[in-house]
Amino acid sequence: MSLAPGFLDELRSRTSLAQVVGRKVMWDARKSNQAKGDLWAPCPFHQEKTASFHVDDRKGYYYCFGCHEKGDAIKFVQETENVSFMEALEILAQEAGMQMPARDPKAQEKADRRTQLAQVMEEAVKFFRLQLQTGAASEARSYLTGKRGLSLQALERWEIGFAPPGWQNLWNHLTAKGIAADLILGCGLAKPSDKGREPYDTFRNRIMFPIRDARGRAVAFGGRAMDPSDNAKYLNSPETALFDKGRSLYNHGPAREAAGKGAPLIVAEGYMDVIALSEAGFGATVAGLGTAITEDQLRLMWRIDPEPVIALDGDTAGLRAAMRLIDVALPLLEAGQSLRFCLLPEGQDPDDLLKAKGAEAMQALLDASVPMVTLLWRRETEGKVLDSPERRAALDKQLRALIKLIRDPGIRNHYAEEMRRLRAELFGFGNGAPTAGQSRPERPWQPGGRKIKPAASPMQGTRSSVLVGTDENTALVRREAVILATLIATPALLDEYSHVLEEMHFDGEGHSALAAVLLGCGPEDTATQIETRIAETLDPGTLERLRGERHVSLAPSLRKPGDAELARLCLGEEIAKLAALRGTRREVDEAVAGFADAPEEWIDRRLSLSARAREMATNNSDGDRADFDIAENGARIDRDERSDLDRLLKAIGFSGEDEGPKGSE
């Protein structure tokens, strides 16, 4: 079977050799430089311990300095999978989302035609460059050198040209050189007339920017209108045998070369932004071609740099484009492969910023770029009033839906964990624990509302208190374990109890990570799928430790897995008891840290009451179900003991709810 060179070129451009080889080897982290596509590993073709197998991902070739094997992605698949050339092509084409070409005896003719089209495009580049020197282009030159500040050398470097006004200037020039009409039309340089006349030029009265592919061939043009009343300010070539807009980047080749030398990849919005940034020293800059960035363009960017910086215009349209890009990128995220966003000042594009403040200001903004998760959170929360449980629940539902778009389980878990942190920070609570970077907030004295002076440690007589001496952490951890194990075994309840997971603080080892995994799952997942996901993303012993808890093995919901109603009852009980236990912990904190000036015997009595409340909260027997009140911290207190407590409070100086203890601060 004869294949057109164009198919092989496209297949190679859409295939990452590093990803193909990475399925068979373990990269040497010390020798490899992922950002530059310079990767080393022990050779898969011969037994060795040293990393002598080298992959140049940018050029698409590998070489072993030990056994001297070399080749590209196609040959690597042939050798490692023991398949033929055509079978290797089919494997790679399927991974790249490409259709294998049908058997075509005229493949060579098509290859020749593509070569001819490329030659015609070079003729058009020359024509437009010459036209920029004519009198008809005086306004265009003034715009480029005056308003945009480009030097004559920059105009040459970027091969900028001009399409003069008139309907057939380029058409007449090319046909006079003997170029066939079908080739001119095939390049998209002219359009057929629907009035029975000769074809007319696609570009008229426009500044012309040649668009070259990764190999440096001119495949299309972008034209900026000089007439303010023109319907389209920017116009790209139509799609042709040479040009696929959704799989092309402006300045692809030079940007890839600059990134290979260590420069970070910047993604700008338009041609002039790319030119301005490159001229200012940011050579690894590319742009989409007038439309939203596609999945294929994202993959091309990631082949250049695993973490491009998106620097779109600081207006509403630019911010909207950045937000749309997040939805495109979420399903494609992988470990070490993401996006960062450079937030430009409102109303400015990179070119404006460089002119106003210089390259240093641009570099400062690039250095301050934010990760994608930050912009996603801003998109979902900014400008929204979240002052009711219903609105918060709607936010939680939307965040869960977005996180589920992430296919990589490890990335999904980290996003869920970060969203939990940001949510707690936004709503001003940390579920019993301070959020990252925060200290635990001071608690007001209950019930009076006045803050009291903390004590460094329990007093001597207090250390023997029943509650202080009890290992309540064990009870907390066990109840957490039952809640998590029940949800793993009964995925149908995940949506119903996801808000509980989001708001819980976990004390048990690995429990917070398990909750993050569960938040990335849904009712459509089976228990087996969730267990597999946990095993893939967490310590292999996490599930074993969870199930090893005696309290877990005895839980009714685990002894009868799949019974949703029984699991719901079990979860309700465990969550209530966990809340009560945490309530008594707060009682201890307040008693120990808050009553430095109170009589010691009063503190012992206070702790004893709390201990009794805890025992009642965790006791399952019917005999202990006495009448009780719910304390403000969630603990249950016997009504008889409540009256004792009230008398004690009055004895040390409480006359009402608006007063704190006498002598307190």
- At 348, list the tokens: 């400015």
Determine the Cα–Cα distance for residues 547 and 541; give it in Å rounded to an integer: 10
Of 96, 125, 148, the position where a domain reaches its end is 96
Report if residue 365 sits inside a domain.
no
Domain that holds residue 90: 5-96
pLDDT in tens, 293-351: 999 899 889 888 889 999 987 777 778 888 899 999 999 998 888 999 998 888 888 88
Report if residue 296 sits inside a domain.
no
Same domain, 72 and 137: no
Report if residue 319 sits inside a domain.
no
Same domain, 471 and 594: yes
* Segment of 129-143, 348-362, 413-427, 541-555 carrying the highest mean pLDDT: 129-143
Residue listed under structure tokens 């992988």: 334
Same domain, 122 and 85: no
Report if residue 435 sits inside a domain.
no
pLDDT in tens, 186-234: 999 999 988 778 899 999 999 999 999 887 889 999 999 999 888 888 9
Q: Is the Cβ–Cβ distance between 66 and 43 less than 8 Å?
A: yes
Nearest to 9, CA basis, from 155, 114, 157 = 114
Determine the Cα–Cα distance for residues 208 and 161; give it in Å rounded to an integer: 5
Of 96, 119, 134, the position where a domain reaches its end is 96
Same domain, 120 and 72: no
pLDDT in tens, 243-258: 989 889 999 989 988 8
Is pLDDT of 540 > 90?
Answer: no
CATH number at residue 54: 3.90.580.10
Q: Is the Cβ–Cβ distance between 370 and 343 less than 8 Å?
A: yes
* Segment of 260-264, 630-634, 649-653 carrying the highest mean pLDDT: 260-264
Same domain, 66 and 87: yes
Structural domains in the chain (count): 3
Same domain, 502 and 628: yes
User: Average pLDDT for residues 506-534, to the nearest whole number?
Assistant: 82
- At 110, list the tokens: 């098509």
Same domain, 122 and 237: yes
Same domain, 76 and 127: no
Report if residue 386 sits inside a domain.
no
Same domain, 144 and 189: yes
Instruction: Quote the pLDDT of residue 622.
Output: 38
Min mean pLDDT across 15-19, 72-76, 426-430, 649-653 is at: 649-653
Same domain, 58 and 125: no
Type of residue found at 85: F
Contact residues for 395 (Cβ-Cβ < 8 A; gap 6+): 380, 381, 384, 386, 423
Contact residues for 272 (Cβ-Cβ < 8 A; gap 6+): 148, 351
Report if residue 543 sits inside a domain.
yes
598-623 burial: b if 16+ Cβ within 10 Å, else e:
beeebbbbbbebbbbbbebbbeeeee
Q: Would the pTM count as exceeding 0.85?
A: no
Is pLDDT of 408 > 60?
Answer: yes
Taken as a whole, the chain contains a residue count of 665
Report if residue 609 sits inside a domain.
yes
CATH number at residue 233: 3.90.980.10
Of 190, 217, 243, the position where a domain reaches its end is 243
Nearest to 36, CA basis, from 239, 292, 306, 245 = 306
Report if residue 536 sits inside a domain.
yes
- At 446, list the tokens: 């209950």
Same domain, 542 and 645: yes
Same domain, 523 and 571: yes
